[in-house]
Structure 1
Amino acid sequence: MAAAYLVLGIFIASLTNTDAVKPIGVCDGRVADNLPSAQDVVGLYTSNGIGKMRLYDPDQATLQALAGTNIELILGVPNGDLQSLTTPTIANVWVQNNILAFSPAVKFLYVAVGNEIKPTDPEAQFVLPAMQNIYNALVSAQLGDQIKVSTSVEASLLGQSYPPSSGSFSTTSGPYITPIIAFLSTTGAPLLVNVYPYFAYISNPQDIRLDYALFTSPGPVIQDGALSYQNLFDAMLDAFYSALETAGGANVGIVVSETGWPSFGETAATVENAGTYYQNMINHVMNGTPKRPGQAIETYLFAMFDEDQKGPAETERHFGLFSPDKQPKYNLIFS
């Protein structure tokens, strides 16, 4: 595999350019037993000019290591904690222990209350009450305008995604997501969306071209009214924008809270494809989408490291930009 490592010069140019780095972050997934210390991880972010992090739980060592670094943070509430946070006093303590204890030394941007909860999951009933209680605790601490409260969702909530202009939430997910969208609209928070062209491609390789998924198509692949789509990422994101509009959230923005491509474990999961995807993703985020042209897309790449305890699919263990020994998987040249 080493012989196939890619030199992603444009990737690094983007990370080291002050303007271009602004919308790009990297998710700090930690489902592994061989990762560096929190201090070393944060040091790797800093040394590589990565200005944003998504952390999936309030790991105290990582929060301590982030203090004073100016790395902007999405802090996650694990799905298993949602029920307890429907009690306001417990939500207040959570905010006190995990946000107020570290702010302003840690630059919190968003609290992601749950990740990829489906309407049929037992935790679904707790998401909005937990969001409301976390938000109220932040308002009481005079941080309600500074730190936005949201939840992270994925593409299965959409009942229709093609063409992008017809994007809508499914009849099953509508009763779950519509009140959440109303909350986001009222509080000025974005919806956090995990967008994976890789999974869309491998689920339907007969109809989805690989170059369309990798941002390498030489021209438009889909014409949707006046809008042309040359890559699958834009089409998926605009389907979510259309769904938000239909659900009464035309003023709700989107932050891409995860996107990535695995480097091993399946035919399309190669170092070459993953490197191409990440490079082109970073080059693309400043452009916006056909539906939102010129609006930089705040995007978090998944993930910082390969995670050896993920699964069950082998690909789940190979999304890292870095190996656990902190070596860059794609031979990134840091200038």
Structure 2
Amino acid sequence: MFLFLSAILCDSLVCILVSDSPVQILGLGVGINYGQIANNLPSPSRVSYLLRSLNISRVKLYDADPNVLVAFSNTNVDFIIGLGNEYLQNMTDPIKAQNWVLQRVQPHLPQTRITSITVGNEVFKTNDHQLWSYLLLAMQTVYNTLVDLGLDKQVTVTTAHSLDILSVSYPPSAGAFRQDLGEYLHAILNFHAQIKSPFLINAYPYFAYKDKPNEVPLDYVLFQPNQGTVDPITNLIYDNMLYAQVDAVYSAIKAMGHTDIEVRVSETGWPSKGDENEVGATPENAGLYNENLLKRIEEKQGTPGKPNVPIDIYVFALFNENLKPGPASERNYGLYYPDGTPVYNIGVQGYLPELVYSSPGTKNALSVSSALLILVFAYLISA
């Protein structure tokens, strides 16, 4: 059912005008990465409304931005928050880890639903071997802090890996981790198994297509109809690359003696724009990738190797981020422009409230009615 709602929400001299346009509900259980490397993004309170209009209830941050966490108070949105790589050395110190949790996590619980902390992001993609050695100890120290504070049942600990931790990714059943990472990943896997937290990967079929567009079929990476590929060892048929990548990670984990760890996709997406050498970075391809991916998630599909485990995915990303370094594609992964306009059509429509600036007199005249409308609005959202 669509909600039709007209309200004017006033705060200081700024009013948020919520139109009575119908909002199409997404409701797919997909997660979204909410990156903020930009200087033109809407406020977290407006983003909160946008995501709830899409019925997205899982968000991944790359930090623990208190403005975001406060804006999503009492919204029933689950958050993964991040500790950047620059914090890893400090997080090996129990006192510093405790101070961070006390300052950045505990004050937001339980009104904001923080379910996980990613300690570091793609650490093994760096050439900093000292950073590699800090990773597990930092994860353990943060987890022990959560235990000491009685928060470990609410909040788990993990880290996100780039797919290049694999030395072999095809066929999926032969998936293997890089030898130089063996000792690190074996210990990290033991930790995941001990605390029952998921193994996160950032998987982008786009990169494989961009690097070898004449060898990698576009339909195969875009979830379009295709003849697929057959794993010669298992005879399993793969009709898309993402599922093959996930199963390759499962195989690599199994080769290290674990079948008790769930693999989740913490990032995947497709850029709508790129540099001249970034083949395939178009709005059409990005739209197909994400629309087809959402359909798979809605169907609660598992991979061929794990057919009974619905694949868990966080799409990258909510907005285009204009300050991200690197090639043009890095700034064009968003589903939305910062003004709330969809970058391309994937069959769903959310609503970002507009900002309307009013005079002090207007504000005073509307203050009483606005307060009442806020209560009505909050009630309808929570109902």
TM-score strictly above 0.5:
yes
Q: Per-residue CA shift, 1:147-173, capped at 9, x if unaligned?
A: 210000011100111100000101011
CA displacement at 1:301 relative to structure 2 = 0.5
Larger Rg, first or second structure (1 or 2): 2
C-alpha RMSD of the superposition: 1.6
Aligned position for 1:8: none
Q: Per-residue CA shift, 1:247-293, capped at 9, x if unaligned?
A: 22211101210000000113301111000000111111311100110
Q: Per-residue CA shift, 1:191-233, capped at 9, x if unaligned?
A: 1110101012112223211111001133322334231111000
2:282 counterpart letter in structure 1:
T
- Pairing partner for 1:281 from 279, 289, 293: 293
1:244 aligns with 2:253: yes
Aligned position for 2:349: 334
Asked if structure 1 preserves the Cα contact closer than 8 Å seen for 2:26 and 2:348, the reply is no
State how 1:1-335 maps to structure 2 within 5 Å: 16-17=26-27, 21-22=28-29, 24-118=30-124, 120-121=127-128, 122-224=130-232, 225-265=234-274, 266-285=278-297, 286-331=300-345, 332-334=347-349
CA distance in 2, matches of 1:205, 1:58: 38
CA displacement at 1:244 relative to structure 2 = 0.8
Asked if structure 1 preserves the Cα contact closer than 8 Å seen for 2:173 and 2:231, the reply is no
Unaligned runs of 5+ in 2: 1-22, 351-383
CA distance in 2, matches of 1:207, 1:146: 45
CA distance in 2, matches of 1:196, 1:263: 14
The TM-score with structure 2 as length reference comes to 0.80
Q: Per-residue CA shift, 1:131-152, capped at 9, x if unaligned?
A: 0111111112222133210000
2:326 counterpart letter in structure 1:
P
CA distance in 2, matches of 1:280, 1:308: 26
Share of identical aligned residues, percent? 38
Unaligned runs of 5+ in 1: 1-11
Equivalent residues, number = 319
1:126 counterpart letter in structure 2:
Y
Q: Per-residue CA shift, 1:17-43, capped at 9, x if unaligned?
A: 4xxx23x11100111111111211222
**Poorly superposed stretches of 4+, deviation over 6 Å:** none
The TM-score with structure 1 as length reference comes to 0.91
CA distance in 2, matches of 1:258, 1:295: 18
More off after superposition, 198-207 vs 305-314 = 198-207
